[in-house]
């Protein structure tokens, strides 16, 4: 099931997106979104007798992280190497504030404090239940679904600060979407799903989730051994190699096979 959050100009609603994705991960022209009563994270999936053509609605971030977005750094060996880093012995965690989240099509604002703004296309895990100390083998029990993220990073500030809060924490630095896919599981990603980023239509990242150093269950176990996870919290699983700069006016699309694609433009702040 693909769960989206959308608006038709009125208050936002959650909805289920129907129809097949084409080979580019795009919904067909006949795709519709069936509205839901309330947030399915808390009340389950309750269909309303209200549907819209997907093309007629504006999609919003499919989840509003209740407390946090947990990032994982250097989780693909080739990306660690391109940044001049070794592969970590344990998952390298950082936090992005929930105020950094924006939705599909929303602008990513280029802050005046940086001159090196990078995209990082990533698989994102959405937590469905309050949990702590989750064993890896039970991780699927606490996962609501999966979506796509761009872990936008001010690379110069990351180097200068030596920690990640400012570099990854600006408003609009965590585009999420286009929806949450609830029917995939960690095995799908272990087998390999393409994670690709396009900058103005040019392929700049071409990774596979089979290359994750720490897989999804390991990340849920590791993060939840440190902090309680709440419904709607998000774990970003790290980016493959090929990160690079974005300029004002650039369009960045992150696609993950079977999940769809997330597109945002960079705007002057």
Min dist. Cβ of residue 107 to Mg ion (A): 20
Biggest CA–CA distance in the chain, Å, is 54
Give the nearer residue to Mg ion in terms of CB position, either 106 or 151. Answer: 151
Min dist. Cβ of residue 122 to Mg ion (A): 6
Do 229 and 138 form a contact (C-beta atoms < 8 A)? no
Contacts of 72 (CB under 8 A, 6+ apart): 91, 92, 93, 94, 214, 219, 235, 236, 237, 238
Q: Identify which range of 76-84, 138-146, 147-155, 255-263 contacts Mg ion by CB under 5 A.
A: 147-155
DSSP assignment of 195-261 equals EEEEETTEEEEEEEGGGBSS-HHHHHHHHHTTS-B-TT-EEE----S--EE--TT-EEEEEETTTEE
Min dist. Cβ of residue 164 to Mg ion (A): 9
Min dist. Cβ of residue 73 to Mg ion (A): 6
Sign of the Cα pseudo-torsion (227, 118, 116, 80, in order): positive
Give the nearer residue to Mg ion in terms of CB position, either 6 or 94. Answer: 94
The residue with its CB nearest to Mg ion is: 151
- Binding string, residues 184-223; x marks residues near Mg ion by CB under 5 A: ----------------------------------------
Q: Identify which range of 6-14, 151-159, 197-205, 248-256 contacts Mg ion by CB under 5 A.
A: 151-159
At residue 249, φ and ψ (nearest 5 deg) are 100, -15
**100 touches Mg ion by CB under 5 A:** no
Q: Please give the distance of CA 196 from its chain centroid, rounded to a whole number.
A: 13
Give the nearer residue to Mg ion in terms of CB position, either 151 or 215. Answer: 151
* Rounded Cα distance, 74 and 79, in Å: 6
* Rounded Cα distance, 245 and 187, in Å: 32
- Binding string, residues 229-268; x marks residues near Mg ion by CB under 5 A: ----------x-----------------------------
Which residue among 106, 120, 215, 253 contacts Mg ion (CB under 5 A)?
120
Give the nearer residue to Mg ion in terms of CB position, either 172 or 239. Answer: 239
**151 touches Mg ion by CB under 5 A:** yes
**181 touches Mg ion by CB under 5 A:** no
* Rounded Cα distance, 16 and 180, in Å: 10
Contact residues for Mg ion, defined by CB under 5 A: 120, 151, 239
């Amino acid at each position: 099931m693909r769960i989206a959050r959308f608006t038709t100009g009125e208050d936002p609603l959650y909805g289920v997106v129907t129809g097949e994705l084409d080979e580019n991960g795009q919904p067909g022209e006949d795709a519709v979104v069936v509205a839901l009563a309330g947030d399915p994270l808390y009340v389950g999936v309750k269909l309303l007798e209200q549907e819209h053509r997907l093309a007629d609605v504006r999609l919003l971030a499919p989840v509003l992280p209740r407390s946090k977005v947990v990032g994982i750094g250097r989780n693909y060996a080739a990306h660690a190497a391109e940044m001049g880093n070794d592969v970590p012995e344990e998952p390298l965690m950082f936090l992005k504030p929930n105020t950094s989240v924006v939705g599909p099509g929303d602008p990513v604002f280029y802050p005046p404090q940086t001159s090196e703004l990078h995209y990082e296309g990533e698989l994102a895990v959405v937590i469905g239940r309050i949990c702590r100390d989750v064993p890896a083998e039970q991780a699927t029990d606490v996962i609501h679904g999966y979506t796509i993220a761009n872990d936008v990073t001010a690379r110069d500030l990351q180097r200068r600060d030596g920690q990640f809060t400012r570099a990854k924490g600006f408003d609009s630095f965590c585009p999420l979407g286009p929806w949450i896919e609830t029917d995939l599981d960690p095995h799908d990603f272990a087998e390999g799903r393409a994670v690709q980023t396009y900058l103005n239509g040019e392929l700049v990242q071409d990774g596979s989730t089979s290359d994750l150093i720490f897989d999804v269950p390991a990340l849920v176990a590791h993060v939840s051994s440190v902090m309680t996870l709440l419904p709607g919290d998000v774990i970003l699983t790290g980016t493959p190699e090929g990160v690079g700069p974005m300029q004002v006016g650039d369009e960045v699309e992150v696609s993950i096979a079977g999940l769809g694609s997330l597109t945002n433009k960079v705007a002057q702040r």
